[in-house]
Amino acid sequence: MKKILLVPGFMVMLFVTTAVINPAHAQAKKKPAAKAAAGGKASAADIAAGKELISKSDCLACHKIDTKLVGPAYIDVAKKYPATPANYAKLAKKVIDGGAGVWGQIPMSPHASLSMADAKKMVSYILSLK
């Protein structure tokens, strides 16, 4: 009975030791999309998801791709903000919280039900329109 338990115990110990000794092995398993977002470039999947989220939201009532309506044209937003991790976070927070002052005094309504991840996907689509 003890011999039967030794093999699984050894395998568990080997696995744990490999993870602790070789953290680069764990880093290699991360998704490429996560690496791209960290580097400031959105993945094609995030851009497509962002476009879909925008099409299903109320955004198009105030924004168009190349025409200023109540809010700025998406192309103007893309020209103003480089695609950096800081800008993804800043603009996603602005989408969620709403506010005014950057593009005029008419406030953008808050979208508190959006997750930060979905808001970043929406921003990734907008910033891809350069």
Enumerate the known binding-site residues for heme c. 59, 63, 108
Distance CA 5, CA 7 (A): 6
The C-alpha atoms of residue 66 and residue 61 are separated, in whole angstroms, by 14
Q: How far apart are CA 70 and CA 47, in angstroms?
A: 24
* Residues of the binding site: 59, 63, 108
8 Å CB contact between 62 and 69: yes
- The residue assigned the tokens 């744990």 is 16
Sequence-distant (≥ 6) Cβ neighbours of residue 56 within 8 angstroms: none
Write the CB contacts of 128 (distance below 8 Å, at least 6 apart in sequence): 42, 47, 78, 83
